[in-house]
Amino acid sequence: MRLYRLPKSGAIEDLTLAEVEQPRPARGQVLVRMRAASLNYRDLMVVTGRYGGGGVKPGLVPLSDGAGEVVEVGADVSRVAVGDRVAGTFMQNWIAGGVAEEHNGTALGGAVDGVLAEYVLFEQDGLVRLPEHLSFEEGACLPCAGVTAWNALNTERPVGPGQTVLLLGTGGVSIFGLQFARAAGARVIITSSSDEKLARAKELGADAGVNYRAHPDWEAQVLALTDGRGVDHVVEVGGAGTLPKSILSTRVGGSVHLIGVLTQGQINPSLIMRRRAVLRGIYVGSREMFEAMNRAIAFHGIRPVIDRVFSFAETLDAFRHLQGQSHLGKVVIRIG
């Protein structure tokens, strides 16, 4: 079988296609024939050695997000059966409840080998069934971007009907955030560097858009769109460079879900105090959250928004496409 491995150089151009022996499942393990994978911004950081402080990990199989079909199960496997359509969970051992340090050590395509391979062995606990109405390409969008947006808006400080959610940019996490906010009956304000992307986001259900390039003071626009009150939730994918403006966009006592690291900057903590904002750090989510999300996706008939699908042979182009940031939603690789 074929898989991709990370190069020493930390350059996308040097990602290597290798042939290895197809693995066989041991007790409790499941062999999945991968049909599709999707890229996250994190995967660019992993390739270039900017993720988690450990530098490049040569030889690592990249990508956390993939979906496929169960083709063989080991002894004592009861959670899935041959023929099931499944996706792997981002942290293979975070099943339910609160996150713990030990969960970081099982993150696919980072701490351990990922899913950019024709076949992948999973522990049975690290899989969920795909919602029936989704294709493999759509299912492959869920494990990181989908579950992260779900965790932000539907767990500890959930969004409610009539509330307003602010989404930053139109990448994978933010577009899932748009879909989940709408499903919860909330109003959506979204920012983007592109008017075309804002128009597309409105077609997808956003109520208002702000171009953050044209309006560097975008927090003033957000406040104006909420009659000066501020939004109830921010899905904060920007990081330090956008956080001060995100807090200024939030109502007193609102929630800022800290997710991303796209920008650099500094933050004055008194902003948080004055807004009495609640900042929540989020690192994807548990299998229990993934399963709850899938039930909601099935109930509402939500389909992940795919920008473009590349073939397995075009994997390097898929990475370059994500790096170019011209996408809206998810970038997918069809594996087989």
Ligand X SMILES: NC(=O)c1ccc[n+]([C@@H]2O[C@H](COP(=O)([O-])OP(=O)(O)OC[C@H]3O[C@@H](n4cnc5c(N)ncnc54)[C@H](OP(=O)(O)O)[C@@H]3O)[C@@H](O)[C@H]2O)c1
Per CB under 6 A, residues contacting ligand X are 40-42, 144-145, 148, 168-173, 191-194, 197, 212, 237-238, 241-242, 259-263, 282-284, 322, 325
Separation between Cα atoms, residue 71 and residue 66, nearest integer Å: 15
DSSP secondary structure of 133-195: T--HHHHTTIIIIIHHHHHHHHSSS---TT-EEEEESSSHHHHHHHHHHHHTT-EEEEEES-H
CB of 20 to ligand X, least distance (A): 28
Coil, helix or strand at residue 4: strand
We find the least distance from the C-beta atom of residue 121 to ligand X, in angstroms, to be 24
Q: What is the CA radius of gyration of the chain?
A: 20
Residues forming beta bridges with residue 165, ordered by sequence position: 188, 233
Quote the least distance from Cβ 265 to ligand X, whole Å: 9
Consecutive H or E run containing 101: helix 101-104
Nearer to ligand X, 25 or 66 (CB): 66
Q: Which residue is nearest to ligand X (CB)?
A: 171
Q: Residue 68 or 110: which CB sits closer to ligand X?
A: 110
Strands 330-334 and 29-39: antiparallel
**Min separation Cβ 52 and ligand X, Å:** 11
Measured from the CB atom, the residue of 4 and 212 that comes closer to ligand X is: 212
- In the block, which residue shows the tokens 């051992």? 93
Q: Are 287 and 96 in contact (CB under 8 A)?
A: yes
Nearer to ligand X, 43 or 84 (CB): 43
In the complex, what is the shortest distance from the CB of residue 77 to ligand X, in angstroms, rounded to a whole number? 28
**Residue closer to ligand X (CB basis): 68 or 169:** 169
87 bridge partner residues: 67, 128
Q: Residue 163 CB, nearest distance to ligand X (Å)? A: 21
How many whole angstroms separate alpha carbon 118 and alpha carbon 1? 6
The nearer residue to ligand X, 70 or 115, going by C-beta atoms, is 115
